[in-house]
Amino acid sequence: MRERAMDLYEHQARELLDHGGVLVPRAEVVDSPEAARAAAERLGGRVVIKAQVKTGGRGKAGGVKRAEDPAAAELTARRILGMDIKGHTVHRVMVAEPVEVERELYLGFTLDRAAGRFLAIASAEGGMEIEEVAAHRPEAVARIAIDPAEGVTGAKAAEIAAAGHLPPETAGTIRRLWTVLTTHDALLVEVNPLVVTRDGAIVALDGKVTLDDNARFRQPSWDGSADRTEARADDRDRTRESLEARAAAAGLGYVKLDGQVGVIGNGAGLVMSTLDVVAGCGARPADFLDIGGGASARVMADGLSLVLDDPDVRSVLVNVFGGITACDAVADGIVRALDTVTLTKPLVVRLDGNNAARGRAILGQLAHPLVHQADTMDGAAARAAELAA
Amino acid sequence: MAIFLTKDSKVIVQGMTGAEGMKHTRRMLAAGTDVVGGVNPRKAGTRVDIDGRTVPVFGSVREAMDATGADVSVLFVPPPHAKAAVTEAADAGIPLAVVITEGIPVHDTVAFQAYARARATRIIGPNCPGLISPGQSNAGIIPADITKPGRIGLVSKSGTLTYQLMYELRDLGFSTCVGIGGDPVIGTTHIDALTAFEADPDTDLIVMIGEIGGEAEERAADFIRAHVTKPVVGYVAGFTAPEGRTMGHAGAIVSGSSGTAAAKKAALEAAGVRVGATPTETARLVLALLAEPSGNPA
């Protein structure tokens, strides 16, 4: 399983909005101060430099600055590139033409999980403080459910604009944003601020889009986009990214964490639970690795060699409850992995459920000095935590 | 009795002739499920022999229902075709559709849930292991042989945690175990299952398993406080999950303070639910509750 939601960078979101007919400022994305200067020259001199990171609060962190001329654009880009914003390093900036803002509004479409529908969210009070407005004066933020069979018609767009106290002229933009959401299989399309300019145009000044990875099969244009644009990263990020990329290629659900106990299990819920039990034993999990339902010996072998290659891992815990997954296949996978990988770290295995006895016998026969078996999930976690200490 | 699925349930399988469909139809038959047909428009009129039983294949859900009186459909249809398959089942008026398929785009799920709701078809899932009423019927992929009939009801977002708790409490047994699925949008919710277990005379105690993401457990906690008189024992997975990362299930993602395991545990405990720190401790809480005079009507 891959990650299921893909956040886009602002510049990627801007491109989708632009193609969808929503007005956006002219802009270019660059990765050097010199290129920022050249872009500013092309855009008419005065520009806004915006850090491209996948996190909110860029403005407050100093990641969004005006520049009065190309020389200032170069200087500003030099300051922002390389900046750390909430743990995200800035590798690219967007150089955008400035917009004369009359009013700032908020408009978004997001999933209401409980109702199982998409919601329009609209407010006449857009801008940086929208989260606070939503928290303290919820009545200032309108939430309108969308009937999936009808979508956003002209009448619905007018209703959304009225409910959010947006000018009636925003109705066209509301419909276009809905079309962006549905045609691209997005889980979230958010424009904050949506601005009314001095000359009355409705412009998306900033945009956020999250795509649904489950729709990849019908959205072929996504391949090769998204995360691969992040070219450089520090060493820690690189280790993480290379392990996660290997996992994705092998079809494993993997998330790198920052502890010492490598965790492998079957099923997202059981693996999450295993992380908790490891943490309850006073150790920290090094990863989340789900070999999935019906895992074969080969998948188990891939997963084990991946976790053993993580330099942070000091012990490995394999926790499997065999449902569709057969425990003997898991044990075979461990044996196979040990043919190609030299085990240098202790491995604690707990097998229960389908074919557990056969699986335990296979590991018993292996009689490897670093392979330990445990009878229970809690006991296995305690052992792995102890061995990682 | 059991909820949603009983020995009288007549089950058809959409996608039966595919590899997953065949494998699990065989398991369901072995568990005693009355599988009365499969659906595949390209193989209509053929028959499939499974372990000495012959299961007819129909061209549509409607034909299958007309011919067999089926009232449950289990779907193993791949993601690109899942929306059409669920829509067809709802159009045919099947009372219960169990969607095992993992990886359905959310826009499709939103569309078919609304469609099914308008036609009074109950959906379980998607991305779920289905449900089992031990000793009676099994609709989905839950292993049938790890437990036996009993008086505990279980509702869970996670497949393997369902199995783990079934196994921990195998000596007590279950009325019904329902895996409602880990996707952000699901048909049958914790609250729907709690409602049905509360009304089921054969269920004495309810085990509810949640995980990080969304606020379904918090809503369930409010519901329990107001409407559930039977004892409820809870478990929530994902205390150590980092913020903003998806942990396998699409729904299991934490953003900010909402949806955390700690918040869910606190909400459940405030509603009088005893919440275990691990699956094993959760099982122990169940045993302790049933040992109390008030927890055991029998």
The confidence score (pLDDT) of residue A129 equals 75
Average per-residue pLDDT in chain A? Answer: 91
Tell me how many domains chain A contains: 3
Whether residues B184 and A352 touch (CB distance < 8 A) is answered with no
The confidence score (pLDDT) of residue A251 equals 82
Which residue, among A101, A94, A107, has the nearest Cα to A9 in the 3D structure? A94
Q: Where are the alpha helices (DSSP H) in A189-322?
A: 235-249, 268-280, 297-308
Residue B138 bridge partners (DSSP)? B132
Mean pLDDT along residues A253-268 = 93
Q: How confident is the model at residue A138 (pLDDT cuts 50, 70, 90)?
A: confident
Per-residue CA distances from A145 to A121, A148, A297, A325 (Å): 9, 9, 46, 40
The CA-CA-CA angle for residues B62, B65, B66, to 5°, reads: 85
Whether residues A323 and B238 touch (CB distance < 8 A) is answered with no
Q: Is residue A30 part of a domain?
A: yes
Query: Same domain for A82 and A191?
Result: no
Q: Is residue A299 part of a domain?
A: yes
Q: Look up the domain containing A67 and give its range.
A: 26-96
Query: Same domain for A185 and A73?
Result: no
Q: Is the pLDDT of residue A175 over 50?
A: yes
Whether the complex's predicted ipTM is more than 0.85 is answered with yes
Query: Same domain for A151 and A212?
Result: yes
Query: Same domain for A206 and A272?
Result: no
- d(Cα A286, Cα B168) in Å, to the nearest integer? 27
pLDDT in tens, A147-158: 999 999 999 999
Per-residue CA distances from A41 to A70, A277, B131, B295 (Å): 6, 57, 64, 76
The SS3 assignment for A132 reads: helix
Mean pLDDT along residues A61-79 = 96
The confidence score (pLDDT) of residue A228 equals 41
Q: For residues B237 and A296, which has the higher predicted lDDT (pLDDT)?
A: B237
Query: Same domain for A179 and A282?
Result: no
Which residue in A125, A190, A244, A254 is the catalytic one? A190
- d(Cα A90, Cα A53) in Å, to the nearest integer? 6
Which residue in A106, A159, A244, A254 is the catalytic one? A106
Structure tokens at A53: 């990171």
- Name the residue in chain B with its Cα closest to that of A272: B238
Nearest CB to A214 within list B79, B238, B245: B79
**Whether residue A254 lies in the annotated active site:** no
Which residue, among B179, B167, B166, has the nearest Cα to B129 in the 3D structure? B179
Query: Same domain for A92 and A105?
Result: no
Is residue B235 a contact partner of residue B282, using CB atoms and an 8 Å limit?
A: yes
Q: Which of B25, B122, B212, B240 to mutate to test the interface with A (most CBs of A within 10 A)?
A: B240
The confidence score (pLDDT) of residue B298 equals 43
The continuous run of DSSP H or E covering B218 comes out as helix B216-227
- Side by side, the strands of the sheet bearing A93-96 are A27-30, A93-96, A47-51, A64-67
Q: Is the pLDDT of residue A234 over 60?
A: no
- d(Cα A60, Cα A168) in Å, to the nearest integer? 31
Q: Is residue A8 part of a domain?
A: no
The confidence score (pLDDT) of residue B247 equals 67
Query: Same domain for A290 and A303?
Result: yes
- d(Cα B133, Cα B115) in Å, to the nearest integer? 27
Query: Same domain for A251 and A199?
Result: no
Q: Is residue A247 part of a domain?
A: yes
Q: Is the pLDDT of residue A132 over 70?
A: yes
The confidence score (pLDDT) of residue B246 equals 66
Residue B119 CB neighbours (<10 A) = 14
- Name the residue in chain B with its Cα closest to that of A147: B114
Q: Is the pLDDT of residue A346 over 80?
A: yes
The confidence score (pLDDT) of residue A340 equals 83
Mean pLDDT along residues A371-380 = 96
User: Dihedral (C-alpha) A114, B278, B247, A255: value to the nearest 10 degrees?
Assistant: 170
Q: Alpha carbon B287 to chain centroid distance?
A: 23
Which residue, among B92, B90, B71, B94, has the nearest Cα to B82 in the 3D structure? B90
Task: Write down which residue in A51, A69, A96 finishes a domain.
Answer: A96
- Name the residue in chain B with its Cα closest to that of A353: B146
Q: Report pTM.
A: 0.91
Is residue B158 a contact partner of residue B211, using CB atoms and an 8 Å limit?
A: yes
Query: Same domain for A212 and A249?
Result: no
- d(Cα A277, Cα B277) in Å, to the nearest integer? 8
The confidence score (pLDDT) of residue A329 equals 92
- d(Cα A253, Cα B257) in Å, to the nearest integer? 24
Residue A17: partners with Cβ closer than 8 Å, 6 or more residues away: A24, A177, A180, A191, A204, A207, A209
Q: How many residues make up chain B in this entry?
A: 298
Q: Is the pLDDT of residue A172 over 50?
A: yes
Whether residues A5 and B250 touch (CB distance < 8 A) is answered with yes
Start-to-end CA span in chain B (Å): 16
Query: Same domain for A276 and A296?
Result: yes
Q: Is residue A12 part of a domain?
A: no
**Chain A residues lying within 8 Å of B161, measured CB to CB:** 267, 269-270, 273
Whether residues A270 and B79 touch (CB distance < 8 A) is answered with no
The confidence score (pLDDT) of residue A1 equals 30
The confidence score (pLDDT) of residue A69 equals 97
CATH label of the domain that carries residue A55: 3.30.1490.20
The confidence score (pLDDT) of residue A87 equals 83
Query: Same domain for A202 and A265?
Result: no
CATH label of the domain that carries residue A293: 3.40.50.261
The confidence score (pLDDT) of residue A223 equals 65
Mean pLDDT by 10 residues, chain B (298 residues): 95 95 96 96 94 95 98 97 98 98 96 97 97 98 94 95 96 97 94 98 97 90 97 94 67 62 94 96 96 62
From B98's Cα to the closest Cα of chain A, the distance in A is 17
Task: Estimate the crossing angle of helix B79-92 against helix B106-118, to 10 degrees.
Answer: 0
CATH label of the domain that carries residue A169: 3.30.470.20
The confidence score (pLDDT) of residue A312 equals 94
Task: Write down which residue in A35, A67, A96 finishes a domain.
Answer: A96
Q: Which of A7, A217, A244, A321 to mutate to test the interface with B (most CBs of B within 10 A)?
A: A321
Q: Is residue A4 part of a domain?
A: no
Q: Where are the alpha helices (DSSP H) in chain A?
A: 10-19, 33-42, 70-80, 130-136, 154-163, 171-183, 235-249, 268-280, 297-308, 327-340, 356-366, 377-388
**Whether residue A190 lies in the annotated active site:** yes
- d(Cα B39, Cα A126) in Å, to the nearest integer? 51
Q: Is the pLDDT of residue A51 over 80?
A: yes
Q: Is the pLDDT of residue A185 over 50?
A: yes
pLDDT in tens, A12-26: 999 999 999 999 999
The confidence score (pLDDT) of residue A192 equals 92
Mean pLDDT along residues A381-388 = 96
Task: Write down which residue in A54, A78, A96 finishes a domain.
Answer: A96
Mean pLDDT along residues A34-42 = 97
Q: Is residue A201 part of a domain?
A: yes
Query: Same domain for A246 and A217?
Result: no
The SS3 assignment for B130 reads: strand
Nearest CB to A323 within list B80, B113, B160: B160
Q: Is residue A361 part of a domain?
A: yes
The confidence score (pLDDT) of residue A135 equals 80
The confidence score (pLDDT) of residue A230 equals 45
